Amino acid sequence: MQALIAVHGKAAALARRLLPESLLLLVARLGAASIFFMSGRAKVEGWFTITDGTFDLFATDYALPLIPPHIAAYAATISEHLFSALLFFGLFTRIGALGLLGMTFVIEVFVYPDAWPTHLSWAGLLLPLLAKGGGSLSLDHLLGGKTGAGR
* Confidence category of residue 147, pLDDT binned at 50, 70, 90: low
Q: What ranges do the domains of the chain cover?
A: 21-142
User: What confidence tens digit (pLDDT) does each residue in 104-146 have?
Assistant: 999 999 999 999 999 999 999 999 999 999 999 999 999 986 6
pLDDT at 12: 86
User: What confidence tens digit (pLDDT) does each residue in 20-38 have?
Assistant: 999 999 999 999 999 999 9
CB-based contacts of 60: which residues, under 8 Å, 6+ apart? none
Exposure string over 24-48, b if 16+ CB within 10 A, otherwise e: ebbebbbebbebbbebbeebeeeee
CB-based contacts of 82: which residues, under 8 Å, 6+ apart? 96, 99
Query: ∠ CA(6), CA(124), CA(48), 5° rounding?
Result: 145
pLDDT at 145: 65
pLDDT at 74: 97
The mean per-residue pLDDT over the stretch 52-59 comes to 97
Mean pLDDT of the chain: 94
pLDDT at residue 148 tops 60: no
Predicted TM-score (pTM) of this structure: 0.88
